[in-house]
Amino acid sequence: MTDRAMNLVMECGKEMLANGGEVFRAQDTMEIMARSLRIEDFHVYVLTNGIFASAKGGTVNAVRHVPSVSIQLARVEAINSLSRRLADGKLDLDGAEQELRRAQQIEGFSVRRVHLASLLGSACFALLFGGGPAEMLVAAIAGLVESVVTRRFAQHGISRIFTDILAATLCTLAAHLAHRVYAPLNVNVTIIGALMVLTPGVSLTMGIRDIINGDYLSGTIRLFDALLVAGCLAFGVAMGYLLMQALMGVIL
C-alpha cells in the first residue's frame, strides 16, 4: 500500500512539473497528498527537472526525472483538484489513481491551434511595437514558420538550442527578404514581433518566483534557461543578418 501511495504522489508531482507547475506548488501538493494517504515520515525535495523523496525513515525512496517542460495548465489544475479531494476525504487511493490517469489523458491544444496562436501572436506583437499592416503580415508569416520549425524539431527530439537558433535565423531572413520586396517595411519591428512568441517569459517569471520563495537553486536554473533561450534567439538573428549579407553579396 505504501509503495502504491508513494508512486501516486511522485507521479502527481512529476505531472505538475512537466506541465508548467511551479516548484513550490508541486512540493506543497505532494506533501498534502502524502499526509492524506498517511505516508509516514515523508520528505521531498523538488527541482525544476527532478524530484527526490523518501518515507518511513528512508526505507522507501523514489526519484523522478522531468527532462522537458510544456505548458498544459489544465493538467496542473486537475492534479490540484485531485489533491484537494484527497485531503477532504472524498477520494481513496484507487479513486486518486483513476483521477491521475484522467489528468494524464487531458489533451493539449491541437497543432492547428498552436500554429494559429503563433501567427496571430506575432502579428499582434508587431502591431504593439508600432508596426503597420505590412509588418503584421510578415511577422505573422515568420511566426508561423517558427511554430512549424519548433514543432517538427520537438517531434524528432532535437535540442531546443538548435531549434531556437534556426527559428530566429529563418525569421530574420524572412524579414530582410520582405524588405527587399517592400522597402518601407520596418525590419526591426517585424523581427521583434515574430520573436516575441519564442521569448522565455514563463521561465523568467517562474525563476523569479522560485527565488522569492527561497528556492534559489530552482530559480537559478530557470533564469539560466531563460538567458540561454534569449542568447540563442540573439545568435539566430545575427546569423540571419550575416546570411542575408552574404546572399546579397553573391547576387550583386
In the chain, domain spans? 2-104, 111-251
Q: Hey, is 178 helix, strand or coil?
A: helix
How many CB atoms neighbour CB 141 within 10 A? 19
- pLDDT tens sequence across 55-111: 886 678 889 988 777 778 889 999 999 999 998 888 888 889 899 999 988 887 788
Q: Which is nearest to 171 in space by CA: 246, 251, 234, 245?
A: 234
Using 50, 70 and 90 to split pLDDT, how confident is the model at 251? low
Report the candidate in 175, 179, 181 with the shortest Cα–Cα distance to residue 194.
175
pLDDT digits (tens, 9 = 90+) for 140-187: 999 999 899 988 888 888 888 899 999 999 999 999 999 988 889 999
- What global pTM score does this model have? 0.80
Q: Cα–Cα distance between 44 and 42 in angstroms, integer?
A: 7
Residues 14, 16, 19, 22: what is their CA dihedral angle, to the nearest 10 degrees?
-120
